Amino acid sequence: MNRVNIILTAIFVILTGCHRQESRLDLDVSNVTVDPVRIHRYDQALFTISPGRLASELNRLKPGFPFFLGTDLTDTTKLEAMREYLTNTRNQEFYRATEKKYPDMLNVEKELTEAFRHLRYYFPDAPIPRIYTYISGGEYDSPVRIFDSVLLIALDAYLGADFKPYAAEGLPFYRIRRMEQDYLLPDCISAMEHSFYPSRYPGNTLLDQMIGAGKRIYFIDAMIPAYPDRFKIGYTSEQMAWAEKNESQVWAVMIENRLLYSTSGNVIRTFLADGPFTADFSAESPPRLGEFIGWQIVKAWMERNDNSSLEAVLSEPDAQKILAGSKYKPDK
């Protein structure tokens, strides 16, 4: 009996080992050296100063936060704008909520450090940004932004789906459910991908747009391969399960209706616009199914082209070439 167990265990190890090696993204980056990430809390520094001593307090903070405070702090108009920002009841409420939810950023710092190891593996000369958190005052459309070598995280955009002020501000639930801490890391990587390829404009067809979106998700996948896939694309677990189960059906609809080369704005919005679901399918379907399919096509292309680099697929302008080379055909 012991011998049987040993044999079964050996078979399991071999099979699972082979499974792990199926993906090109399964890498050991432990030998890639990067400095540990430190996130600088501009939100904490700013909201703990005294508005009554605003000018002197801002000058005290200026050396540590030149990106935010590298300006003329004697300008009365700017000082008054800062005072209004700090005394705004909405901003104060959101700051208190961020302090409760994010007393520190240790986990995010560890996750970003690991992501940057992957970044340097693929792009050895890639710059590592200096990272700040802040209270945006409601800049929800771009909760993570990059300016040159600075990455900004609006913590007030990640307070959780149960944070009642979001609904009070009129945000739709499909947006609110992604305002969780679990989406913060993928959003950081997505912003970095955009900073690497700011001038990459996909073509006008649905296929062009799908492949362009798929490249962005694949970049996130490459930087944080062990992270749950649903957060990389912004799905719930139920939406991710639906997309995986119905992948062949979605592809069949695109092929049978000759949609891949459509330039119709309605068609492209149907498959790539954000929303509660994809209109041509059930209410249980996730939005942006074109993005999901584009991701699978890019992934298939990379798995079939061992000699191609991540940079090569991200820079390849020909969506048709990627589709043909992927030999993409989802299982029914």
pLDDT mean over 280-302: 96
The pLDDT value recorded for residue 73 is 83
pLDDT mean over 294-323: 93
Residue 5 has pLDDT above 70, yes or no: no
Same domain for 183 and 56: yes
pLDDT digits (tens, 9 = 90+) for 252-261: 999 999 999 9
SS3 state of residue 126: coil
More confident residue, 84 or 16: 84
The pLDDT value recorded for residue 233 is 97
Residues 202, 319: contact at Cβ < 8 Å? Answer: yes
Domain's final residue, options 178, 196, 214? 196
Q: What's CA 224's distance to the chain center, in Å?
A: 10
Residue 136 has pLDDT above 70, yes or no: yes
Same domain for 106 and 211: no
| Overall domain count for the chain | 2
The pLDDT value recorded for residue 202 is 66
Same domain for 166 and 62: yes
Same domain for 318 and 242: yes
pLDDT digits (tens, 9 = 90+) for 163-191: 999 999 999 999 999 999 999 999 999 99
Domain's final residue, options 156, 172, 196? 196
Q: Is residue 332 part of a domain?
A: no
Number of residues that make up the chain: 332
Residue 203 has pLDDT above 90, yes or no: no
Q: Is residue 31 part of a domain?
A: no
Average pLDDT, the chain: 90
Residue 38 has pLDDT above 90, yes or no: yes
Q: What's CA 115's distance to the chain center, in Å?
A: 12
* DSSP characters over 139-155: --S-SEEEETTEEEEEG
Residue 266 has pLDDT above 50, yes or no: yes
Same domain for 228 and 183: no
Q: Position 157: which residue type?
A: A
Residue 205 has pLDDT above 80, yes or no: yes
The pLDDT value recorded for residue 22 is 56
Residues 154, 143: contact at Cβ < 8 Å? Answer: yes
Q: Is residue 152 part of a domain?
A: yes
Domain's final residue, options 161, 196, 231? 196
Q: Is residue 167 part of a domain?
A: yes
Same domain for 186 and 46: yes
Structural domain span for residue 264: 206-326
Same domain for 241 and 188: no
Q: End-to-end CA distance of the chain, in Å?
A: 39
Alpha helices, DSSP H, located in 22-156 = 42-47, 54-61, 66-69, 76-87, 89-101, 106-122
Lowest mean pLDDT among 140-149, 196-205, 231-240: 196-205
Instruction: Using pLDDT thresholds of 50, 70 and 90, give the confidence band for residue 52.
Output: confident
Give the whole-angstrom CA distance, residue 196 versus residue 104: 29
The pLDDT value recorded for residue 198 is 64
**95 Cβ partners below 8 Å, 6+ apart?**
43, 47, 135, 156
Same domain for 158 and 191: yes
Same domain for 236 and 190: no
Instruction: Using pLDDT thresholds of 50, 70 and 90, give the confidence band for residue 199.
Output: low
What is the C-alpha radius of gyration for the chain, rounded to an integer number of angstroms? 23
The pLDDT value recorded for residue 303 is 92
Same domain for 230 and 136: no
Q: Is residue 34 part of a domain?
A: no
Give the whole-angstrom CA distance, residue 268 versus residue 310: 26
Q: Is residue 46 part of a domain?
A: yes
pLDDT mean over 140-144: 93
Q: How far is CA 166 from CA 32, 170, 184, in A?
A: 40, 7, 17
Residue 297 has pLDDT above 60, yes or no: yes
The pLDDT value recorded for residue 111 is 98
DSSP lists the bridge partners of residue 134 as: 154
46-76 burial, b for 16+ CB within 10 Å, e for fewer? bbebeeeebeebbeebeeebeebbeeebeee
Q: Name the pTM for this structure.
A: 0.89
pLDDT mean over 85-113: 96
Q: Is residue 5 part of a domain?
A: no
Same domain for 243 and 176: no
Q: Position 280: which residue type?
A: D
Q: Is residue 23 part of a domain?
A: no
Same domain for 124 and 98: yes
**227 Cβ partners below 8 Å, 6+ apart?**
111, 185, 186
